[in-house]
Amino acid sequence: MPTTARLFGTDGVRGLANVDITAELALRLSVAAAHVLGDAARQAGRRPKAVVGRDPRASGEFLSAAVIAGLASAGVDVYHANVLPTPAIAFLTADTHADFGVMLSASHNAMPDNGIKFFAAGGHKLDDRIEDEIAERLDQDWERPTGADVGRVVTMPDGHTRYISHLLTVLPNRLDGIKVVIDGAHGAASSVSPEVFRLAGAEVIEIGTEPDGLNINDGYGSTHLDHLKAAVLAKGADLGIAHDGDADRCLAVDASGTEVDGDQIMAILAVSLKSRGALAQDTLVATVMSNLGLLQAMEREGIVVRQTAVGDRYVLEDMRASSFSLGGEQSGHVIFLDHGTTGDGVLTGLMLAARVAETGRPLAELATVMRRLPQVLVNVKGVDKSRVESDEELQAAVRAEELALAGAGRVLLRKSGTEPVVRVMVEAGEQEQAQAVADRLVEVVRARLSL
């Protein structure tokens, strides 16, 4: 079992497969989830059903088998969707009216890791209370169904097609005339993403789309853009799209091989949605880590930016609470709440390409809607992170630096959730200025918070 104090992290239960994330844990966790998430169905007098999918990493084979066995043994009917992106499993959970969904993936992590993520009915992420209830029921005694009451397991051969049809339905315009390179990270989108782009009319060049169970995220995908940049230049493509292992995020590359990050993607898409009257309340939801340049750009465009704590789950919570339609993170998690319940890298890539096709403007030109301010991020290790907010001298130093930046930059100090680390982030008009401010604050953090 993972050694963190809380079983569930910010995105399910994740760790080294067969050490932290074992078959035994997967089975016990799925039984506990069956009791918590299937309770409403039982109270309504029907058998619960769940959709289960995974990314292509090798450990997903035995872990998904354990999850499916646990669910069926607890009286849950299982629809086995096999290898599909995380957002596809969320979509299918809602589309099939399943009581919950399960995804086996460690996202952008290296191949040896894996994780177990649950979706509630409707394809929504679980809140902390439900996750804690599942964790509390891991080792509880339970009455095992027998005979006809055990769950049944069926394959879901149309899951791939249903998800692609959904994506094509929500696309605002076709991609005819667009040449795009798709980097599937040898992950869950390796089949889906190239296929849907072709069906939408694009000419597609594929890289990183040959998963063998061992090569997921290995030198390809959204955390390794060099191959994508080279392919875009070599093939004369209009843009490149990079997914991570489970395809819940997307980064892009323009025709010159320059990266277009999540903040720029959100800026482009926010302007696009606003132009169509589809940006709810003319508001974009982002995290405190988004570049100040995004906030400045959106202000010029008449778009309000609401900022949340770091993590796409917090973005989603704010979006759902106020019915906002677009939100995301600098890392490339982008959520279209009108069309999905979680970050969807394939949909994000499609929407970005659709904007290029609709306007006839190169991606590089569209990305100029915002200027990324130089950003410096330093992780200060070996300090007492619990005193960040309470140390008056440190807070005074932060206020002094912010005052000196005079609104043309910003300072952010964050505590790591899992390590004795304080993250110092500074943005300013020039790289040298940002670095100088960061260096000064790092020294204050070390002086004031050293253990």
* Separation of alpha carbons 211 and 419, rounded Å: 33
Structure tokens at 402: 């912010």
Which residue(s) pair with 83 in the sheet?
54
Residue 63: phi and psi, rounded to 5, are -70, -40
Q: Is 371 helix (H, G, I), strand (E, B) or coil?
A: coil
pLDDT tens-digit readout, 199-236: 999 999 999 999 999 999 999 999 999 999 999 999 99
Q: What CATH number is associated with residue 252?
A: 3.40.120.10
Burial environment of residue 174 by CB neighbours within 10 A (0 to 12, 13 to 18, 19 or more): middle
Structure tokens at 55: 């990314």
> Is 263 part of any known ligand binding site?
no
> pLDDT class for 13, splitting at 50, 70, 90?
very high
| Domain final position from 120, 143, 158 | 158
* Separation of alpha carbons 252 and 301, rounded Å: 22
Residue 122: inside a domain: yes
Sign of the C-alpha dihedral computed for residues 12, 55, 209 and 191 taken in this order: negative
Query: Which positions are annotated as active-site residues?
Result: 107
Query: What is the side-by-side order of every strand in the sheet holding 203-207?
Result: 203-207, 179-183, 239-243, 250-254, 259-260
Q: Please indicate, yes or no, whether residues 215 and 347 belong to a single structural domain of this protein.
A: yes
* pLDDT given for residue 420 in this prediction: 79
Q: How many CB atoms lie within 10 A of CB 168?
A: 13
pLDDT tens-digit readout, 106-116: 999 999 999 99
Rounded percentage of the chain residues whose pLDDT exceeds 70: 98
pLDDT tens-digit readout, 261-273: 999 999 999 999 9
Residue 208: phi and psi, rounded to 5, are 60, 35
- Mean pLDDT (whole number) for 140-145: 91
Rounded percentage of the chain residues whose pLDDT exceeds 90: 88
> In 96-115, which positions are buried (b, 16+ CB within 10 angstroms) versus exposed (e)?
bebbbbbbbbbbbbebebbb
Q: Please indicate, yes or no, whether residues 281 and 183 belong to a single structural domain of this protein.
A: yes
> pLDDT class for 7, splitting at 50, 70, 90?
confident
- Mean pLDDT (whole number) for 266-294: 96
> Is 244 part of any known ligand binding site?
yes
- 97: pLDDT strictly greater than 80: yes
* Separation of alpha carbons 93 and 169, rounded Å: 18
| Domain final position from 158, 191, 216 | 158
> pLDDT class for 417, splitting at 50, 70, 90?
low
Residue 2: inside a domain: no
The average confidence (pLDDT) of the chain is 94
* pLDDT given for residue 165 in this prediction: 98
Q: Which domain holds residue 216?
A: 165-367
> Is 107 part of any known ligand binding site?
yes
pLDDT tens-digit readout, 376-411: 999 999 899 989 899 999 999 999 999 999 888 999
| Domain final position from 142, 158, 174 | 158
> Is 246 part of any known ligand binding site?
yes
Burial environment of residue 1 by CB neighbours within 10 A (0 to 12, 13 to 18, 19 or more): middle
Q: Please indicate, yes or no, whether residues 205 and 297 belong to a single structural domain of this protein.
A: yes
* Separation of alpha carbons 367 and 73, rounded Å: 51
Q: What is the pTM of this model?
A: 0.91
Residue 4: inside a domain: no
> Cβ distance 418 to 14 under 8 Å?
no
Burial environment of residue 133 by CB neighbours within 10 A (0 to 12, 13 to 18, 19 or more): middle
> pLDDT class for 9, splitting at 50, 70, 90?
confident
- 334: pLDDT strictly greater than 60: yes
Q: Please indicate, yes or no, whether residues 38 and 129 belong to a single structural domain of this protein.
A: yes
Q: Please indicate, yes or no, whether residues 354 and 235 belong to a single structural domain of this protein.
A: yes
For every residue of 81-141, DSSP letters joined together read EEE--HHHHHHHHHHTT-SEEEEE--TTS-TTEEEEEEEETTSPBPPHHHHHHHHHTTT--
Q: Please indicate, yes or no, whether residues 180 and 31 belong to a single structural domain of this protein.
A: no
